[in-house]
A = this chain, B = another copy of it.
Amino acid sequence: MKFTLAVIIKGNKDFSEVGKEEIENAIKAENLEKKFNAKIDINVNVDKDIKLQILSEYRAHILFAKIKKILAEYIGKKYHIGIKEIFVNRYEILFEADKQPLKPISVPFAEVKFEKNLCNVLIKDVNENFLTENYADRIINLINEKIARQYYEGKKEYWKLLWTSEKRDIKFNKDPSEEMKKRRWIFQVSKGKWFYFPQAAVMLNAMKKIAIENFVIPMGFREVIESNIKPLEIWLKTGHIYGMPNEIYYVANPKTRDETAWEHFKDIVKITKSIPKDELKELVEINYGITYAQCPMIYYALNNKTIALSELPLKFFEKTVNSARYESGGTHGIERVDEFHRIECVYIGTPEMLNELKEKMIERYKFIFNEILELEWRMADVVPFYMQHAGETETEKEDNVFWKGTIDFEAYLPYRGTREESEWLEFQNLSIVGSKYTSAFNIKTQKGDLWSGCTGIGLERWVVAFLAQHGFNYDDWPEKFKKYVKKEDIEKEIKFL
């Protein structure tokens, strides 16, 4: 790697009294070449300002921080001049990328040129924080990431069948959402968002009860209740804000509650009976987003905590906040929506503990899907959700002692076509994410690795899977399921004229 950095250093007085050699000697005395085991050339020009040029095989922005410190001390002590401002004229980085890009690559702040996999990054006219905040390293990573994505694009997603249930008799072959709409169980509020009339509410609640009584409680999860309004900073740690910012429903709060600031807006609404969106935009600021998944805030609540070993595996669940995801055009009924209900269970423990827990959880799920819901379903090993959420694409399956990854639970939907050719519905998943989130939120235990994971139970999807296979005739439903739903609650309609 080769780095060429040119900066201008402005003092609170001018540097005319200071000699070029004097400064170069002061820097040389620190012996940076040896310390960083790299070839470093430093050129200084002194006028009113100091013009510094670094040529090195080591990251010049790191060297610069060292040099600045030397300079500041030397000049401060001898000439009583303080450093006022630093301006980066030009920063050129030459490095070998992981692979040769397949098409041009662009990144902010820099011009990027390639010769095979040799990459030339040219940055001009930026502020000091470009150096001190380590932007250069992140630009290099970003370039490699963009190349990796070019290679990944178009590849089939990783998917490996792990287990499949017995086949079931097909009782029904209609789209359950369409059927629910016809029966006025559900009403569409806006894109991908629904209002559930009593019959549909009964179905969602039955699924919730089944999950809680047969999975959550027996597995020892304790309930926590989180805020539905996520500070964006949480997603900086988890990666959601750069992984999938285009899927987030953002939340904006009023800049002020002051009546006078809002008076004009109110008046316009009252006079025109419409909402001046441009004016509204200036009255609020975006600081939050609606829940994308429940687990990030659970980690946030444990930020910087050290959990006693005796508490492990720590098991929490959350069932109160809706998740919202801005889906592409293809929303479909209540099975592909912008807002959905999910129970999320989070577990934190040693890798051994979590792998043991995983097996027990799968057994519990099998009981529910085989014995209570009587579903035709399967499990598959897929791209881990925590990579997807952070926009990561690599799917190297690590061959560790302890398993890490995501299992999707998929149900057959007869209305979509044959078992073999139709797409099955992912109705829940289960993951062990390793130390990704415990590290991000600095959550520790007394000694050893602390891993975590989560399993998300999608209530709408349980309902869709169930109705798609069993239909709407109460008498056809599995006996154990009927214990959770009264016939009259499903059949009692509200009469509109």
Contacts and interface: CB of A to CB of B under 8 A. Distances in A.
Nearest to A248: B254
A341 interface: yes
A147 B311 CA distance: 63
Contacts of A391: 266
Contact of A271 (B142, B272, B316): B142
Interface in A303-334: 305-308, 310-311, 314, 316, 320-322, 324, 326-328
A433 to B, nearest CB: 20
A232 B276 CA distance: 11
Contact of A108 (B109, B189, B264, B495): B264
A306 B190 contact: no
A158 interface: no
A152 interface: no
Interface stretch (A37-45, A195-203, A367-375, A405-413): A195-203
Interface in A217-236: 222-229, 231-232, 236
A361 interface: no
A385 to B, nearest CB: 18
Contact of A195 (B201, B261, B288, B297): B297
How many copies of this chain?
A: 2
A339 interface: yes
A201 B228 contact: no
A327 B236 CA distance: 26
A268 B322 contact: no
Contact of A259 (B190, B246, B326): B246
A270 interface: yes
Contacts of A261: 246
A1 interface: no
Nearest to A275: B232
A253 B341 CA distance: 19
A326 B254 contact: yes
Contact of A267 (B108, B222, B265, B339): B108
Given A224-B197, A225-B200, A242-B270, A311 B138 contact: no
Nearest to A305: B496
Contacts of A472: none
23 contacts: A108-B268, A190-B231, A190-B288, A195-B301, A196-B225, A197-B301, A201-B223, A225-B341, A229-B290, A229-B324, A229-B338, A232-B275, A236-B269, A242-B270, A247-B254, A250-B251, A251-B290, A254-B326, A277-B285, A305-B496, A307-B497, A308-B495, A321-B322
Given A190-B288, A250-B253, A251-B252, 12 more contacts: A189-B226, A198-B316, A201-B225, A225-B341, A245-B262, A245-B266, A246-B257, A250-B284, A266-B391, A311-B494, A311-B495, A321-B322
- What are the 3 A-B residue pairs with the smallest beta carbon separation, nearest first? A308-B495, A196-B225, A193-B227
